[in-house]
């Protein structure tokens, strides 16, 4: 049940809370590859993934080929090898995941997941890119001029990606051909953002201090450095490495980067010039005998060698000029950022195309001129023939005939000339139309490639339930783009439809965690899920299971749908027909034998079998989404539910439903600490900051952990997100109770009831507030005066809560408290017994039963009741304290001290237990220990007179020798 179903707890402190992807050291030259599909001898289990083989390995890490069974996709998994550089590489993983996660660009591959192996070593799962590095492609060319237009196009795409990163405040700092992947279909990906600097970090990153070891011979000149290297210090002096760490690849490193000076976007521009130089002349900007010599060249900005080769190469002068500008030693002489470089390269490519079009037009014009020349020759031949006729026929009538012939010839010539002009004009227009059509075809082909890349990235985002990223990508595809997609138009339509499905599934998940009328809103969540399924044409029980299964499998969001359908099976316990129909569909789309059997047990209401399933889930390597759904079943034993959820979270630390399960207070953590709950809730809030239920759970965990100010802020956010959220209003009231604001507390309970009059905890807490003084209910952290004393109103409130929720143990205990306060302990016992039967793990019933026995002076019965409370509620400090009090009365002081020690271990802020233990140790002469507990009580309640008096007595005795 929700956390507010109990009285305010004692505050306790908590801590605040494909080749494929580039190998871990970003240096393919220094890696060894194992054939994919052959798992190496040192098998590694990566939580949440099926390892298929090793792709590459270097001095610092490995890259594995793996399968993501949740999203049904291939991934590349980077692992850190144990060694002195492991911590620094782990930091790179975090940075790479964070940076690529917010750079939504088709030429930047996203990181999917950052997690930990069983031994705590980090791993990073990324998009797997099948293709080759630009370095490998350039090395395979027979000459630098070979296929040059294609490689210049690659440089333009790299510059576009880097320019986008610059617009987001990110500097790559390690651009080189080895960090550019070119896919089998020409797609370009800029890899390895682990050294990137983000302006949100506010300063240079200086935490990476390990030089990555190579397989042999130390770092190579094309290898990536992660820290100041000895060769650099020897050349430049130690002072050059103090301003900032030298990180990057020496052969492509800008002078300012090599000197350890602050860098900006123009540092990447220099590296882009180096990549362009590699394309044009087949070499990097700097090339020394070793890494030290290369770094020395870079620090001095000595680009003379590469510039000489550029000047003598066969490439166009304009393209060479772009490379020279990028490779300028002074940052002020370089283009401003990657976008500026992309525009320069695009302008060059457009100029080349324009020159090609001009040459084509000149060829067309030459053809027109040739036609005109042929026609003029025909006219000249006709004139010569006419002269011959005149000579042969004599002069008689010559003049008249000559005049007529001249007129005729002029007409013929004029007609021929007009015809030639028309043909030339038609030819010119046809040539222009063809050029325009060619331009459109080139532009459309280029745009079509971009659109297909955007669509592929959007599909990947939908599969990952990343609606924001998918929407951003799809918005870049216009209707005109869609009209040219041809067969891929169906993919676009499906992607858009599945994107519309994601918010509906998010709403289902959000509703699932909220409480109404003391129960989770399962029926409303089920109705929202039915609406979402209707959008796919699925009506469980009516749609044939085979058709429904085909619709689920055909969706890009199929993995998410399978998880949500499993939750539907768990939630639809009151709708057996729907539950069975959904389970039937799942058996077809998710035929895993373990999960099929588990769902069958749920449909059959075999709860002991479900508990057994949860106990075996970790051994069976079941995914977190499945474990969380089954662990949500409140009718199953909470211990295996909690244990299975914790085990699943270790494999999938960012699974939101599992985090929410562990954030619910009624699931006891194995450690029993509120701190673990708070960490789970904080992670849930970070994943879904717009989910009110996550903030509600965080508020409860922080409240129980002894941080009321932070708890109040969390509840405030839950109420802001959902003003009528009765559970959050009630939780906020419990925090105000701990802070002593009784008026505010009562107002929150009334606001909760105004929002939901069926919310039993609000009735119970308001009733307890009214009866607090009369029943001896003590407010924490100190005893506070209570103005409202009305046992009749309290009884009415508790009774209403029991009517709304017959098994509500807190309300039943409250009724027992009322009758005990009226001097009717025998009547009270009946309510306490019902409370214990309803919730044996709730200490309130046990304690009330013990108090009633004391009221009738049944001392053995009271001690037995408190002892039963400790047995049933081993994590309750209050149960331990009252048992200790009974043991002291019985004279069993040794056992009493042990129980008190357990109480303060469970709750270091339990001031009563500290005072009692301090008094007993003082009487035994254990003064140092006694003083420690008196002072602990005062730290919780500075005004506690009994603790202050004990502290002063013990200090006086310690001040007297032998005291």
Number of helices and strands in the chain (H, E):
39, 12
**243 and 358 inside one domain:** no
Residue 818 included in any domain: no
Q: What is the pLDDT of residue 600?
A: 95
pLDDT value for 341: 95
Q: Work out the percent of the chain whose per-residue pLDDT is above 70.
A: 79
What would the two tokens of residue 789 be? 């004393």
Residue 734 lies in a domain: no
Q: Tell me what pLDDT residue 4 has.
A: 36
Which residue in this structure is represented by tokens 């001029």? Answer: 145
Tell me, yes or no, whether 441 and 380 share the same domain: yes
Mutual angle of helices 558-571 and 522-534, in 10-degree steps: 140
Helix, strand, coil % over all residues of the chain, rounded to 5: 65, 5, 30
Structure tokens at 896: 């009493």
Tell me which of 408, 433, 463 is where a domain ends: 463
- Which of 336, 366, 393 is a domain's end point? 336
The highest-confidence range among 176-185, 543-552, 683-692, 802-811, by mean pLDDT, is 543-552
What integer best gives the mean pLDDT of the chain?
80
- Report d(CA 318, CA 300) in Å as an integer: 26
CA distance 867 to 880: 8
Going by pLDDT thresholds of 50, 70 and 90, the confidence category of residue 730 is very high
- Do 354 and 415 belong to one domain? yes
- Report whether pLDDT(334) > 80: yes
Give the residue numbers spanning the domain of 422: 345-463
Residue 10, pLDDT above cutoff 80: no
Above 80 in pLDDT, residue 24? no
Same-domain check for residues 259 and 382: no
402 and 287 both lie in a single domain: no
DSSP conformational letter for 31: -
Helix ranges (DSSP H) in 464-477: 467-474
Domain count for the chain: 3
- Identify the pLDDT of residue 386: 56
Residues 289 and 355 in one domain: no
Closest CA to 126 of 23, 248, 249: 23
- pLDDT category at 113 given cuts 50, 70, 90 is confident
The Cα 120–Cα 97 span in angstroms is 18
Yes or no: say if 735 and 781 are a contact pair by the CB < 8 Å rule. Answer: no
The two structure tokens encoding residue 26: 């970003």
pLDDT in tens, 158-172: 999 999 999 989 999
Three-state secondary structure string covering 54-79: EEEECCCEEEEEEEECCCCEEEEEEE
**Domain match, 284 and 355 both:** no
Read off the pLDDT of each residue in 278-300 and give the average, rounded to a whole number: 90
Looking at the structure, do residues 279 and 382 belong to the same domain, yes or no?
Answer: no
Is residue 13's pLDDT more than 60? no
pTM: 0.52
Whether the pLDDT of residue 670 is over 50: the answer is no
Highest mean pLDDT among 1-15, 339-353, 772-786 belongs to 339-353
Greater confidence (940 vs 89) lies with 940
Give which of 250, 245, 272 is closest to 261, Cα–Cα: 245
Percent of the chain with pLDDT over 90: 36
What pLDDT does residue 382 have?
55
- Judged against a pLDDT cut of 50, whether residue 23 lies above it is answered with no
pLDDT tier at 273, thresholds 50, 70, 90: very high
More confident position, 782 or 334:
334
User: Would residue 455 count as lying in a domain?
Assistant: yes
Q: Is the pLDDT of residue 392 over 60?
A: no
What region, left, alpha or beta, does residue 282 occupy, with left being phi > 0 and alpha being psi -120 to 50 degrees? left
- 198 with 127, same domain: the answer is yes
Does 392 fall in a domain? yes
pLDDT score for 357:
61
Confidence class of residue 823 from pLDDT cuts 50, 70 and 90? confident
Q: What is residue 215's three-state secondary structure?
A: coil
* CB 794 within 8 Å of CB 814: yes
Neighbours of 67 (CB within 10 A): 14
Whole-number pLDDT of residue 109: 86
Whole-number Å distance between alpha carbons of 110 and 457? 9
Average pLDDT score over residue span 692-704: 89
The mean pLDDT of 270-279, rounded to a whole number, is 96
909 contacts 781 by C-beta, under 8 angstroms: yes
Does residue 817 form part of some domain? Answer: no
d(CA 890, CA 903): 19
Q: Mean pLDDT across the stretch 792-801? A: 89
Q: Which long-range contacts (CB under 8 A, 24 or more apart) does 99-104 make?
A: 99/165, 99/170, 99/193, 99/196, 99/198, 100/126, 100/193, 102/168, 103/164, 103/165, 103/168, 103/170, 103/193, 104/457, 104/469, 104/472, 104/473
**CATH number of residue 877's parent domain:** 1.25.40.10
Q: How far is CA 397 from CA 82, 382, 392, 918, in A?
A: 115, 20, 13, 151
Flag the least confident range among 697-706, 896-905, 924-933: 697-706
Does 1 map to a domain? no
* pLDDT surpasses 60 at 805: yes
Boundary residue ending a domain (319, 336, 353): 336
pLDDT digits (tens, 9 = 90+) for 714-727: 999 999 998 888 98
Instruction: Please state the rounded mean pLDDT for residues 346-372.
Output: 66
pLDDT of residue 363: 60
Cβ-based burial of 490 (10 A; exposed 0-12, middle 13-18, buried ≥19): exposed
Give, for 766, the enclosing helix (H) or strand (E): helix 760-775
Kindly tell me the sign of the dihedral angle through the C-alpha atoms of 616, 617, 622, 626: positive
* In contact, 691 and 510? CB cutoff 8 Å: yes
Examine residue 250 and state whether it is found in any structural domain, yes or no. Answer: yes
What pLDDT, on the 0 to 100 scale, is given for residue 278? 96
> Is residue 121 in a domain?
yes
Residue 581: what pLDDT?
Answer: 94
Are the C-beta atoms of 78 and 61 separated by less than 8 Å? yes
Q: What is the CATH number of the domain that holds 238?
A: 1.10.510.10
The alpha helices in 778-876, defined as continuous H runs, are 791-804, 809-821, 825-838, 843-855, 859-872
- pLDDT exceeds 70 at position 491: yes
Does 749 or 665 have the greater pLDDT score?
749
One domain for residues 868 and 928: yes
| CB environment 435-458: b (16+ within 10 A), e (fewer) | beeeeeeeeeeebbbbbbbbbbbb
Residues 300 and 381 reside in one and the same domain? no
One domain for residues 942 and 855: yes
């Amino acid at each position: 049940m929700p956390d507010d179903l109990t009285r305010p707890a004692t505050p306790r402190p908590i801590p605040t809370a494909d080749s494929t992807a580039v190998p871990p050291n970003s240096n393919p030259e220094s890696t060894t590859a194992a054939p994919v599909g052959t798992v190496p001898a040192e098998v590694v289990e990566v939580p949440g993934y099926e390892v298929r083989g090793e792709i590459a390995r270097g001095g610092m890490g490995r890259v594995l080929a793996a399968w993501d069974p949740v999203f049904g996709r291939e991934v590349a998994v980077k692992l850190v090898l144990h060694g002195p550089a492991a911590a620094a590489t782990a930091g790179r993983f975090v940075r790479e995941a964070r940076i690529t996660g917010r750079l939504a660009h088709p030429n930047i591959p996203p990181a999917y997941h950052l997690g930990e192996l069983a031994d705590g070593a980090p791993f990073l799962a990324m998009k797997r890119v099948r293709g080759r590095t630009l370095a490998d492609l350039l090395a395979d060319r027979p000459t630098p001029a070979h296929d040059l237009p294609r490689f210049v196009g690659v440089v333009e795409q790299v510059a576009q990606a880097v320019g986008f990163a610059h617009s987001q405040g990110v500097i790559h700092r390690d651009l080189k051909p080895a960090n550019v992947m070119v896919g089998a279909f020409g797609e370009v990906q800029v890899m390895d953002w682990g050294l990137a600097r983000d302006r949100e970090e506010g300063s240079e990153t200086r935490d990476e201090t390990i030089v990555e070891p190579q397989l042999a011979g130390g770092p190579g000149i094309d290898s990536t450095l992660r820290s100041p290297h000895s060769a650099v210090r020897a050349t430049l002096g130690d002072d050059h490495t103090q301003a900032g760490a030298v990180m990057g690849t020496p052969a492509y490193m800008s002078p300012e980067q090599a000197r350890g000076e602050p860098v900006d976007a123009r540092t990447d521009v220099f590296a882009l010039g180096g990549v362009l130089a590699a394309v044009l002349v087949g070499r990097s900007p700097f090339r020394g005998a070793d890494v030290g010599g290369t770094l020395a060249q870079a620090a001095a900005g000595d680009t003379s060698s590469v510039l000489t080769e550029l000047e003598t190469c066969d490439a166009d002068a304009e393209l060479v000029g772009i490379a020279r500008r990028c490779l300028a030693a002074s940052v002020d002489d370089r283009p401003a950022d990657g976008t500026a470089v992309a525009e320069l390269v695009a302008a060059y490519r457009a100029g080349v195309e324009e020159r090609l079009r001009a040459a084509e037009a000149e060829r067309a014009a030459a053809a027109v001129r040739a036609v005109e020349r042929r026609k003029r020759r025909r006219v000249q031949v006709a004139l010569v023939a006419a002269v011959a006729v005149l000579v042969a026929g004599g002069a008689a009538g010559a003049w008249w005939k000559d005049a007529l012939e001249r007129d005729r010839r002029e007409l013929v010539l004029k007609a021929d000339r007009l015809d030639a002009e028309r043909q030339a004009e038609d030819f010119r227009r046809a040539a222009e139309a063809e050029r325009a059509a060619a331009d459109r075809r080139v532009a459309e082909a280029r745009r079509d490639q971009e659109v297909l890349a955007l669509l592929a990235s959007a599909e990947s985002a939908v599969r990952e339930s990343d609606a924001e990223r998918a929407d951003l990508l799809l918005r870049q595809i216009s209707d005109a783009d869609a009209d040219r997609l041809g067969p891929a138009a169906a993919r676009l339509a499906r992607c858009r439809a599945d994107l519309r499905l994601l918010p509906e599934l998010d709403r289902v998940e959000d509703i699932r965690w909220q409480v109404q009328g003391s129960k989770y809103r399962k029926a409303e969540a089920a109705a929202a899920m039915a609406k979402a399924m209707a959008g796919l044409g699925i009506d469980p029980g009516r749609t044939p299971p085979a058709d429904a299964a085909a619709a689920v499998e055909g969706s890009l969001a199929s993995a998410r749908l399978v998880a949500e359908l499993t939750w539907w099976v768990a939630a639809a316990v009151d709708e057996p027909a729907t539950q069975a129909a959904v389970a039937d569909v799942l058996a077809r789309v998710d035929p895993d034998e373990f999960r099929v059997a588990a769902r069958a047990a749920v449909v059959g209401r075999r709860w002991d079998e479900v508990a057994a399933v949860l106990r075996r889930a970790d051994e069976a390597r079941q995914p977190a989404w499945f474990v969380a759904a089954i662990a949500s079943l409140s009718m199953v034993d909470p211990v295996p539910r909690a244990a299975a959820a914790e085990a699943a979270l270790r494999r999938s630390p960012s699974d939101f439903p599992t985090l929410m399960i562990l954030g619910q207070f009624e699931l006891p953590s194995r450690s029993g600490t509120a701190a673990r709950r708070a960490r789970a809730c904080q992670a849930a809030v970070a994943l879904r900051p717009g989910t009110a239920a996550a903030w509600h759970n965080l508020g409860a965990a922080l409240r129980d952990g002894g941080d009321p100010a932070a708890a109040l802020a969390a509840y405030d956010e839950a109420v802001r997100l959902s003003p009528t959220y009765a559970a959050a209003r009630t939780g906020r009231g419990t925090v105000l109770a701990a802070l002593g604001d009784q008026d505010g507390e009562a107002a929150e309970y009334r606001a909760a009831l105004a929002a939901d009059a069926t919310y039993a905890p609000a009735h119970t807490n308001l009733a307890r507030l009214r009866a607090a003084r009369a029943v001896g209910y003590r407010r924490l952290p100190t005893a506070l005066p209570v103005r409202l004393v009305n046992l009749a109103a309290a009884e009415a409130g508790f009774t209403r809560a029991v009517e709304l929720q017959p098994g509500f143990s807190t309300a039943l205990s409250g009724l027992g408290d009322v009758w005990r306060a009226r001097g009717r302990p025998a009547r009270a016992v009946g309510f306490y017994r019902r409370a214990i039967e309803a919730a044996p793990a709730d200490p309130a019933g046990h304690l009330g039963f013990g108090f009633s026995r004391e009221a009738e002076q049944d001392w053995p019965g009271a001690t037995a009741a408190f002892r039963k409370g400790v047995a049933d509620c081993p994590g309750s400090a209050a149960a331990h304290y009252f048992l200790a009090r009974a043991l002291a009365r019985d004279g069993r002081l040794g056992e009493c001290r042990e129980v008190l020690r357990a109480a303060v271990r469970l709750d270091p802020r339990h001031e009563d237990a500290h005072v009692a233990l301090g008094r007993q140790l003082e009487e035994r002469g254990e003064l140092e220990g006694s003083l420690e507990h008196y002072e602990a009580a005062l730290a919780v309640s500075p005004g506690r007179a009994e603790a202050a008096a004990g502290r002063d007595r013990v200090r006086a005795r310690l001040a007297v020798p032998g005291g």
